[in-house]
Amino acid sequence: MKKFAAFAMFVLATALMFVACSAESNEKAPAQKKVSIVATIYPQYDWLKNVLGDRLDAVNLKLLIKNGTDLHSYKPSAQDIAAIASADMVVFVGGESDEWIEKALKATPKEGRVQVNLLAALGDRVKEEEVVEGMQEETKDEKPALSLPKGRETKEIAEENHEHHEHEAHAEKHEDGHHHHEEAENDEHIWLSLKNAELLVMNLADALSKVDTAHATEYHMNAGLYIAKISALDAQYRAATDSAHFKTILFGDRFPFRYLVDDYGIKYFAAFVGCSAESEASFETVAFLAGKMDSLALPAIFTIDGSNGKIARAILDASKKSKETPVLTLNSMQSVTDAQMQSGVDYLSMMQSNLEVLKKAIK
């Protein structure tokens, strides 16, 4: 996933323009102003809301990536870069998708600005993206992609390729069935681990205390109360997965949930890695996943939010599973719509919903 390289000059030009304009207006700035905070994606934005508590209206908290825009396809506007340049505190994931933010911050130095790189804050808890057995890698190999028709043709194609795939497709896998990209990238989907969330919420309380020292005690108290709620949900996940009949799930889609499944010892198979730009699965990938659906007798197949579900349906068509097999959706929270936010959903409610969906596939 190589992106935003074309934005480097745009970021620098916009940032420098902002610096020039702000320098002219500094003398007219009010003596007192609200602390300005920018969060790139919804989970961190919601964490900040909970840590701020009653102080929410006392700051300017801006969510940058919204309206259903995906983190991996987001392109910053000049207004976005200006918001980052003027912010007192900027919270971002810190992966490859956020390279443009680091360029903007470097181009617009501001005294006292607090920068929170969540991947850096997690330290050795950060995981690399991995390619598991059967997963389609992003390569320049031009193998024919499955056009994903429904019915008998899909099943026949899959069956013809299944035996060949079993013998040849995974020669380079590790003994545990996993191997890594030649150029491994960090998995950016850190918010899908409740254990990560606990650590990062306290990190945000520490950061807020630097830009608003007068209310540091309040921020840490709010963080503690919120972390208790996260911990309680984590216990629900643990109870559900410990008692699960099935310990493996299968995604006919991208898979951004590595942090989640690793927390609870769940194995997985999927069509693509979490940050993949691929949208069509090869014959071999569909055949392999269809075979796993059958051999493991899995009761459901998964997609992620925003998916059209065609790969999942093709896998079912190619398997011996009933066409009534549920296609379930887990919410990756990579993009949250305005309608969702206005309806009152939040990080914890979406993670709770994910648990209820997960239970249907592991009980």
Sketch the domain layout of the chain as residue ranges.
Answer: 5-124+189-234, 131-179+244-332
Measured CA angle at 16 (ends 11, 18), to 5 deg:
95
Residue 358: the pLDDT is 99
Distance CA 217, CA 344 (A): 27
Q: Is the pLDDT of residue 319 over 70?
A: yes
The fourth-level CATH superfamily of domain 131-179+244-332 is Nitrogenase molybdenum iron protein domain (3.40.50.1980)
Per-residue model confidence as pLDDT tens digits over 197-225: 999 999 999 999 999 999 999 999 999 99
- CA atoms within a 13 Å half-sphere pointing along the CA-CB vector of 151: 2
Mean pLDDT of the chain: 84
Highest mean pLDDT among 10-24, 62-76, 297-311: 297-311
Per-residue model confidence as pLDDT tens digits over 86-100: 999 999 999 888 999
5-124+189-234: CATH topology: Rossmann fold (3.40.50)
Residue 68: the pLDDT is 79
Sheet with 59-63, strands from edge to edge, namely: 59-63, 35-39, 89-92, 114-117
Residue spans of alpha helices (H) in the chain: 8-25, 42-52, 78-86, 99-107, 118-122, 152-168, 194-211, 216-242, 258-263, 283-295, 310-318, 338-342, 347-362
Please indicate whether the domains covering 5-124+189-234 and 131-179+244-332 agree at the CATH topology level.
yes
Residue 278: the pLDDT is 65
Distance CA 259, CA 189 (A): 7
Find, among 116, 118, 98, 117, the residue nearest to 209 by Cα: 116
* Tokens linked to 19: 């610096």
Question: Looking at 143-152, 247-256, 312-321, which range is the least confident one?
Answer: 143-152
Q: Is the pLDDT of residue 260 over 60?
A: yes
Percent of the chain with pLDDT over 70: 77
Give 220's contacts (C-beta < 8 A, 6+ positions apart).
202, 205, 206, 209
Q: Is the pLDDT of residue 136 over 70?
A: yes
Residue 19: the pLDDT is 46
Residue 279: the pLDDT is 67
Per-residue model confidence as pLDDT tens digits over 165-184: 444 444 444 444 444 445 67
Q: Is the pLDDT of residue 360 over 60?
A: yes
Confidence (pTM): 0.82
Percent of the chain with pLDDT over 90: 67
323 pLDDT band, cuts 50/70/90, is confident
